[in-house]
Amino acid sequence: MTRDWDQELSAYIDGELDEAARKAVEKWLATDPAYARRYARMRRIGAMLHETMETPAFQRELRARLEAEAAVPSHGFWRRATAVAAVVTLLAATAVWWLAGPGAPAPTSPQAPGWVEAEGPAVPRETPAERDLPGGGEADEAPAIEAPPRLAVSGSVTGAHPIAVLVDLDTGEQRVHRPGDEVAPGVTLESVTRDGAVLTTAGGERFELAKAPASTVAPLDIAGVWEGVLTAVGEPVRAVFEQDGVGVTAEFSAVGIGETIGFEGALTGNVLQMEVDTEMGETLLRVEGVFSTNQTAFEGEMIVAATSGDGQWETLEKAGLELSRMDRDAGQAHERLNQALRAFEALTGALERYAREHGGAFPAALGDLAPDWLAEEDLAALDAAAELDYAAGRSLWDPRQEAENGSRPDFADILPHRPMEERLFAYEEAVAAHFGGAFPAPGRLLTVRYGDAPFEHRVSTAMRTEYVALDGEEHSGAQLEAMAVTEVASARHLALTVLMFAQEHEGHAPAGWFSVYPGYLQDPLTLASPFEEGTDPAGVSFELVFPAINLDDDALLWEMLAQARPGEAARLAEAYEEGVAPLRQFIPIIVGPDHGAHRVVAFADGHVRTLPPEEFNEMAAPFLY
């Protein structure tokens, strides 16, 4: 790899390197004295710049200006817009009209309809231009008036079925309205214009609302596949939306015809407006409509318009368009997930084998696994399909860092999912205490995310695997799925732990979990089913079946199996005598907690099954005391 390490040095000083590069630089610094000298000299530059800072004498003046500013009543949104424009030059000034804005009569408090009593900033009469500048002690002389709720139009569709989407600028809440709708008590949407909407009050006053700047409205997330129908022609259509901020592109295809049309446009609030120039250049195909706020439905029109070159467009024809969001193709997603799980298991298996051969140490980089522990192609394939974040050797609790900073690292900086970090950290502390302050192994983590898989995988210190749902919603489908997979992974790990113990104890299974922890089971969190997390302080939710049996002594098991499932016992006995299948692999050794719906059972060969109640009763219950 050719990398300019001197350049990285500068980024290193600024804390702009990722973990891997930072480590590389530190390695260089430790081994190359010339590099370390250059580092010291570059670092000194910053120190010198700071040494030459002077203390300016504008505090009093600044304070006076701030006080003067503070005395001026807030100009609400308009001020905000101009201030944003002044500071962040990117935001172009956008004309936002208030209900009581220029051109509309300002309602006065007594006659005002109820909704204007809502809290809102005072709106001064002066134009924003007059307010533009850092004027010292200038005070606002305009009498403040009560302002109505700060509504603006976040999008509108004109035409045969006009629609306006109004956004409450304070709460960001958006609602779709049609003419005649009461948008607030006593206030009716009269009409929708291309640039806004007209409201009337019960008292007959008319107000114009203009469009809100895009920045005030959180964009809907509409990216993905939508399917529906063009109502006029009954044509099934499929649309794939892609979104970049308010910018939207879409590929529309008429399912029956198979022809695809690419649209470009924007999503303003709930309103989508897109168009495509046809090859003629004189006709235009538009799609306009409104997404439901929950982002599952779209209702609008596809319009063909033509111009004779005078800038006026005439609608030639149009069709209603109704779309609904397709759920992710469940089958496909599942398949991808399964592939991911298989790849992940190969990877963690390779890690574990590597660690075993290296006295518990993990490789410095995943690349070190190939080709002895993991085929290079596997690694490459995994790398292509997933985002691998391998952090061997990075302890969650780095004593050096603590000594240096006098504080523990903020784990939120290290990992995105705090509850998990806290649990790991608590675990590490517990283990550290157990070992008199020394870790059996520093915290190690492998995080793998697979494209659109609904969860990611993590391996912690003791090769414990955790599956974390990525959609962030508690107990959503992905979360539940992640919990279920984690439970299975834990059961499998516990089964292997038991077998390891048995191997070293002449076939005797451990008498209880205390026999395997911490000698065989390094991570006690494995004992807690994610479904029962927090319910039991001891955190043990997996039952160890036959706690005192000798796994090599088959007599008892034979007997029990013969009683429970005579047919199978006979068949297995036959196979066993032929040396085909050792009987004990069919014996359940770990049983997960009872969720009602299913139970996880690990068998003595390490394989794990999730059994529905009836199967559980048949296969495992007979073995339970």
Cβ 223 to other proteins, closest distance in Å? 21
Per-position DSSP letters for 551-580, written without gaps between them: TT-HHHHHHHHHHH-HHHHHHHHHHHHTTS
Residue 393 half-sphere exposure, CB side, CA atoms within 13 Å?
A: 9
Contact residue for other proteins among 22, 23, 79, 394 (CB under 8 A): 79
Stretch that binds other proteins, among 76-84, 297-305, 319-327, 594-602 (CB under 8 A): 76-84
Q: Rounded to whole angstroms, how far apart are CA atoms 492 and 608?
A: 6
Cβ 82 to other proteins, closest distance in Å? 9
Q: Is 339 in the site for other proteins (CB under 8 A)?
A: no
Q: Is 76 in the site for other proteins (CB under 8 A)?
A: yes
Q: Which is nearer to other proteins, 89 or 308 (CB)?
A: 89
Cβ 51 to other proteins, closest distance in Å? 5
Q: Which is nearer to other proteins, 38 or 434 (CB)?
A: 38
Q: Is 22 in the site for other proteins (CB under 8 A)?
A: no
Q: Which is nearer to other proteins, 34 or 280 (CB)?
A: 34
Query: Would the CA dihedral through 604, 610, 613, 619 be positive or negative?
Result: negative
Measured CA to CA in angstroms, residue 78 lies from 131, 214, 217, 272 at distances of 11, 14, 15, 25
Cβ 406 to other proteins, closest distance in Å? 15
Cβ 373 to other proteins, closest distance in Å? 36
Is residue 491 within 8 Å of residue 602, measured between CB atoms?
yes
DSSP three-state, residue 245: coil
Cβ 211 to other proteins, closest distance in Å? 18
Q: Is 80 in the site for other proteins (CB under 8 A)?
A: yes
> What is the pattern of x (binds other proteins, CB under 8 A) and - over residues 37-66?
xx--xx-xxx-xxxxxxxxxxxx-xxx-xx
Strands 196-201 and 313-325: unpaired
> What is the pattern of x (binds other proteins, CB under 8 A) and - over residues 565-604?
----------------------------------------
Q: Rounded to whole angstroms, how far apart are CA atoms 254 and 238?
A: 6
Q: Is 406 in the site for other proteins (CB under 8 A)?
A: no
Stretch that binds other proteins, among 67-75, 299-307, 495-503, 552-560 (CB under 8 A): 67-75
Q: Rounded to whole angstroms, how far apart are CA atoms 595 and 599?
A: 7
Q: Is 67 in the site for other proteins (CB under 8 A)?
A: yes
Q: Which residues pair with 151 in a beta bridge?
A: 168
Of residues 116 through 175, those in contact with other proteins by CB under 8 A are 134
DSSP three-state, residue 449: strand
Stretch that binds other proteins, among 73-81, 98-106, 431-439, 472-480 (CB under 8 A): 73-81
Of residues 86 through 115, those in contact with other proteins by CB under 8 A are 86-89
- Beta-carbon neighbour count of residue 444 at 10 Å? 21
The three state secondary structure string of 400-447 is HHHHHHCCCCCHHHHCCCHHHHHHHHHHHHHHHHHCCCCCCCCCCEEE
Contact residue for other proteins among 14, 410, 474, 577 (CB under 8 A): 14
- Amino acid in the structure at residue 396: L
- Amino acid in the structure at residue 544: L
Q: Rounded to whole angstroms, how far apart are CA atoms 534 and 484?
A: 16
Q: Is 27 in the site for other proteins (CB under 8 A)?
A: no
Cβ 397 to other proteins, closest distance in Å? 23
Which residues of the chain form contacts with other proteins (CB under 8 A)?
Answer: 6-7, 9-11, 13-14, 16, 34, 37-38, 41-42, 44-46, 48-59, 61-63, 65-67, 69-70, 74-76, 79-81, 83-84, 86-89, 134
